[in-house]
Chains A and B, each alone.
Chain A
Amino acid sequence: MSRLDELSIEEASRRLASREISSRELTEACLARIEVTEPKVGSFLEVTAQLARQQADDADRRLAATGTRTSDTTALTGIPIALKDIFLTKDVRTTCASRILENFIPTFDATVVARLRRAGAVLLGKLNMDEFAMGSSCENSAMQLTRNPWKLDRVPGGSSGGSATCVAAHQALGSFGTDTGGSIRLPAAFCGVAGIKPTYGRVSRYGVIAFASSLDQVGPMASTTRGAALLLQTVAGKDPLDSTSIDAPVPDYAGAIGTAPTVKGLRIGIPREYFVEGLDADVEAAVRAAIGKLQDLGATIVEVTLPHTEYAVATYYIVATAEASSNLGRYDGVRYGRRRGEEQGLRDMYGESREQGFGAEVKRRIMLGTYVLSAGYYDAYYSKAMRVRTLIRRDFEQAFERCDVIATPTAPATAFEIGSRTDDPLKMYLSDILTISVNLAGLPGMSIPCGLDSAGLPIGLQLIGKPLDELTLLRTAAAYEDSCHWHRVSAELKP
């Protein structure tokens, strides 16, 4: 590979450590790439070029001290990355792709951001997304359209659309997104990159704008599994500021994967409910081929069942919207954010600020969530959904008695055309049908590229693991990656 922006994180990290390249060179290569490709892709809501150059120079100084007593470099020191605009970044505008936060400048960093800064990562900018992470296509951004680098008339997937496109278009070496119902895995699949949603509680949510608190989880995307592993291990681990973050040791994922990961003896479960009608033939073929490859590499394939899968989307849209309706109450135009209608009094200020500040999908979900929690409906909807959630969790517990990892397609089809599902919310919701259960159960899930369909669009293989067992997912993904070439195929940014 000749272009610096096309380097994987692990390769760039090696070259930075050996001083073959500087962070400033790497960062300039990414900024130049952004300059050229951004008009086509539209990943970034804000490019923080000045900050990136400054951080790159800092990183180079730290790297120059490598081997000395004051050495404090990490595998990410000097690596240019970008963040979904859902992470609070001190003094850098954070909008969540919503008009209601269009001028919001945070006074503090999210824990994830603080950990990345401490590790020496270089922040290239803030990435487009579905407004408040509500969407599966990135089309719900109030700010701009983001296009799939593989075929510019296609959606990149959502909600972390910009996080996937910036990696696929080599604008950044890695990125972070959030995943509430598939928002990392779906765009990773649609854009042909590796993305992992860790176990709920593995990564701090402090300073990450909340959509659905019991489902939201932060995770990285990169062109390779090892790159994603390096990003994850930098941010994972207990945070005293997040009561739901888990106090468990974080393995050195990249080190544990090593150079020759194996799946020998690994039991891979195939849930029959994930290979049913509606699954695109190319997707099914590619995923089955990938499973076959894993079998060739020494894994055992077992059939498992997740019988409540068909109830997952309904459960999700009750739980997630209920939590969201409450989480989004704070956007009231009092302390920050857009304010409208104050001349007509307090009630109008609330009503108008929110009516004008939120987009159609956000309002739809606030309305749905408010409805399912309101007097007389709580038991029929919210309470019911919490119980079905238990059934969905149990499905996985039982399946994992028979296997170590579950493999499925990430999405029923490849990236769809821009505008093709915007009129039908229900159809859009069903894009997440294969990813949602993982969030409801709080399990780690990952998507890695496993082929291209007849239109040349990437196909994602989803791997689902036991709680806190990200390592097995990453090791399986890396073993697969080492045996194929899909992660090396680049998007061409063509119509």
Chain B
Amino acid sequence: MSAARSYYQEGGFETVIGLEVHCQLATASKLFCGCSAAFGAGANEHTCPVCLAMPGVLPVLNRCAVDYAIRAALATDSTINTNSRWARKNYFYPDLPKAYQITQYEQPYCEHGRVTFDLDGTEHTVRLTRIHMEEDAGKSVHDAHASWSLVDLNRAGVPLLEIVSEPELRSGAEASAYMRKMRSLVRYLGISDGNMNEGSMRCDANVSLRKRGATTLGTRAEIKNLNSFRSIERAIAYEIERQAEILLGGGAIVQETRLWDADRGVTRSMRSKEEAHDYRYFPEPDLLPLVIDDAWIERARSELPELPDARRGRFVTSYGLSGYDSGVLTASKELADWFEAAVAAHDNPKALANWITSEVLRIANESGAEGETDFSQLPFAPEHLAALVRLIDDGTISGKIAKTVFSKMVESGDDPAAIVAREGLVQVTDEGAITAIVDSVVAANTAKVAEYKSGKDKLFGFFVGQVMKESQGKANPASVNRLLKERLDG
């Protein structure tokens, strides 16, 4: 496939993407047994007869998982089905101990939702087909032996939500932005840690192409194993070109499952799954219907935290921030919390927002993993930033000096006031001192003074710069301006 030439562009195609997001619920125990659902433990440490599928064992539903699932339904404006059912999805795989997965099929608990997300300042809305609960499978380790695989069932039975979107996404960037919004939502809701690198959140993408303007859907390929924002974008970009090349060459897309190979940057067919899948779904006889009544839904609604869209709106009205800045600040719950902690310490939301969207986010992005913004690793607290802005606002330091103080705060994590005191960065407001500097600058630049007086107004900036330089940046800029003007124009 040529990188220089885009078959996609050439062919006048439109991309159609639907995502199936799998999100691990942050319950303490598994969906159907009392084993820990925590990540990271010795092999089969978090197992019991139920999740090992010993003969004769039976599942019992974790109430908290349903609570969390209801929150997800409410946050996506979905319809919650009062009666839903459990089903078995039958297939053989060593990490699937029962040889079936307990999931929801014909009657999921949740349908007809929608999610809005922002991409480059434009709001997009994607409808959700359904959300259902299901259990995760275990894990196989393939690289320990040449001819054997190892099976660890710690993850088997961990609760998942599967969130299925309508095929309404039109690009890898949209898919990735949608996924970011989804992660933000589940974190706001406190129902998942949303950690993609630990597999708590991952997705499969159904990708197809059609001629721009066409109304029917093309044949799709399902791409599995998308476990980072970057892989979503890269895999979809690759897949679009792959399909475009086939279609332009007069070929047909095979409906199949493809695996994203991040190392090689390609999707490849999973043809080793020889026979066509026939999961033989049927109602799970070991679990009775799940009934979510109005009282339960209302209780969950009353316990719902403020969600990103509402918080964004509040940031605009309460703090007078722009819609864009509010969107940036509320994209993640941690960031929004961080901002509000800073505002609580010093009431200048606009200045704090500017500092955060420019300086703080840059630092946080540098310290986090790919695509992750990690506030836990920041060397300073929101109160430190608030203190810094307060020093500017009360005239102790200039905005310029503040940048210096900020860098030192990043390095040391020290309180900005302590940095200012230690480094002697307090702003000079003593007009006598500033007048002395002005005098010496004027005296040292007689030629320039003459030019200025003859009408070269632009030179005023030169004098300001010289005074600031002499004062090592500490002179109060307003005083400098006024005194200079008096001296030169007077």
Contacts and interface: CB of A to CB of B under 8 A. Distances in A.
A329 B100 contact: yes
Interface residues of B, number: 30
A326 B90 contact: yes
A209 interface: yes
Interface in A67-122: 86-88, 94, 96, 101, 104, 106-108, 110
A206 B278 contact: no
A208 B56 contact: yes
A44 to B, nearest CB: 20
Contacts of B59: 243
Interface stretch (B280-288, B380-388, B405-413, B481-489): B280-288
Interface in B168-185: none
B58 A242 contact: yes
A176 interface: no
Nearest to B91: A329
Nearest to B286: A213
Instruction: Tell me if B's interface is mostly helix, strand, loop or mixed.
Output: loop
Interface in B29-59: 49, 52-59
Interface in A191-226: 205-210, 212-214
Interface residues of A, number: 44
B98 interface: yes
Nearest to A201: B288
B392 interface: no
A323 B282 CA distance: 9
B278 A375 contact: yes
B94 A346 contact: yes
Given A240-B60, A329-B90, A335-B97, A94 B55 contact: yes
A88 B56 CA distance: 7
Central interface residue in A94, A101, A244, A334, by most chain B CB within 10 Å: A334
Central interface residue in B59, B92, B282, by most chain A CB within 10 Å: B282
A107 B99 contact: no
A107 B54 contact: yes
Contacts of B88: 326
Interface string A411-442: 00000000000000000000000000000000
B151 interface: yes
A370 interface: yes
Contact of B282 (A208, A241, A382): A382
Given A329-B99, A382-B282, A210 B92 contact: no
B49 A104 contact: no
A137 to B, nearest CB: 23
Nearest to A376: B278
A45 to B, nearest CB: 15
Contacts of B58: 205-206, 241-244
B101 to A, nearest CB: 11
B90 A373 contact: yes
Contacts of A374: 278, 280
Contacts of A212: 285
A189 to B, nearest CB: 27
B61 interface: yes
A370 B280 contact: yes
B282 A329 contact: no
Contacts of A326: 88, 90, 99-100, 280, 282
B285 A330 contact: no
Contacts of B54: 88, 106-108, 335-336
Contacts of B61: 243
Interface string B62-101: 0000000000000000000000000010101010011110
Given A323-B285, A336-B54, 17 more contacts: A107-B49, A108-B49, A110-B56, A206-B56, A208-B56, A240-B60, A241-B60, A244-B286, A326-B90, A326-B280, A332-B99, A335-B97, A346-B94, A346-B149, A370-B280, A374-B278, A378-B280
Interface of B: 49, 52-61, 88, 90, 92, 94, 97-100, 149, 151, 278, 280-283, 285-288
17 contacts: A87-B56, A107-B54, A206-B58, A210-B286, A243-B58, A322-B282, A326-B88, A326-B100, A326-B282, A329-B99, A330-B98, A334-B151, A335-B52, A336-B54, A346-B149, A370-B280, A373-B280
Interface of A: 86-88, 94, 96, 101, 104, 106-108, 110, 205-210, 212-214, 240-244, 322-323, 325-326, 329-330, 332, 334-336, 346, 350, 370, 373-375, 378, 382, 386
- List 10 tightest A-B contacts by C-beta distance, closest first: A329-B99, A213-B285, A373-B280, A214-B285, A209-B55, A207-B56, A330-B53, A209-B56, A375-B278, A88-B56
